[in-house]
């Protein structure tokens, strides 16, 4: 999305410079949006998936690496995936020097599982965590309801205040992976894996339907926020 005026193009090298130039001079700008899977961003010495954990040094290395990548991305808005711990994400965004803590929001990243988050150089006006499917998106087959009615990972809706009074709605989504849904005991059983792949496909399909319904409703209710 871009906003134009009769002024020259912004040539700032950082998001902070960019927003300062936009507000001061009403320059033309291009909104750069990034997506970043941070691969199990957890607190040090805390088990994730029941068996793995990172030492304090490993977490520090990971935080510094993420901060360096954020600097290279140089994005006004970033959506994150696989955030387990909000405080650890804040360490990375703060180290990047790009985002204020108040504009870094996660979808209940309390250490119990992977979730999504957003960081923005622009003010975040509101956020909403969405776990349940819209009623209209719950599917039936042969008059039997398919019992998939929640997102496997909650999605995050954020309203972001852009310059010149524009507001944009951003959804951060991490859909179910292709990994088969199968127990540890059966992960080498080829028949169980086949069923697990089928179950994973069902979940992914149901989530895509629910997300489409949410986006269509958003477009119909707020057509100028995209």
pLDDT recorded at residue 1: 34
Q: Residue 169 phi/psi, 5° resolution?
A: -100, 130
Structural Rg of the chain based on CA atoms: 20
Q: Does residue 114 have a pLDDT over 50?
A: yes
Q: Residue 106 phi/psi, 5° resolution?
A: -120, 160
Q: Does residue 185 have a pLDDT over 80?
A: yes
* CA–CA separation, 123 and 142 (whole Å): 47
- Strands 110-120 vs 124-132: parallel, antiparallel or unpaired: unpaired
* CA–CA separation, 78 and 110 (whole Å): 20
Confidence of residue 109 (pLDDT cuts 50, 70, 90): confident
* CA–CA separation, 88 and 225 (whole Å): 31
Give the mean model confidence (pLDDT) for residues 7-24.
50
Mean pLDDT across the chain: 87
Confidence of residue 110 (pLDDT cuts 50, 70, 90): confident
- pTM, two decimals, is 0.84
């Amino acid at each position: 999305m871009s906003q134009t005026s009769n002024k020259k193009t912004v040539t700032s090298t950082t998001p902070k410079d960019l927003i300062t130039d936009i507000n001061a001079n009403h320059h033309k700008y291009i909104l750069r949006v990034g997506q970043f899977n941070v691969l199990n961003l957890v607190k040090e010495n805390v088990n994730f998936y029941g068996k793995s954990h990172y030492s304090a040094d490993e977490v520090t290395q990971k935080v510094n690496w993420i901060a360096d990548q954020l600097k290279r991305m140089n994005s006004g808005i970033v959506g994150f995936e696989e955030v387990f711990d909000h405080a650890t994400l804040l360490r990375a965004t703060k180290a990047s020097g790009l985002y204020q803590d108040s504009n870094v929001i996660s979808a209940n990243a309390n250490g119990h599982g992977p979730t999504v988050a957003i960081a923005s150089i622009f003010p975040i006006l509101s956020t909403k965590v969405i776990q349940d499917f819209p009623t209209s998106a719950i599917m039936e087959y042969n008059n039997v309801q398919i019992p998939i009615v929640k997102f496997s990972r909650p999605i995050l809706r954020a309203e972001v205040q852009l310059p010149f009074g524009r507001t944009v709605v951003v959804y951060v989504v991490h859909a179910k992976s292709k990994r088969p849904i199968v127990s540890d005991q059966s992960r080498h059983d080829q028949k169980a894996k086949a069923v697990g792949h089928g179950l994973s496909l069902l979940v992914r399909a149901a989530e895509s339907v629910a997300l489409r319904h949410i986006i269509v409703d958003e477009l119909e209710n707020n057509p100028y926020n995209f």
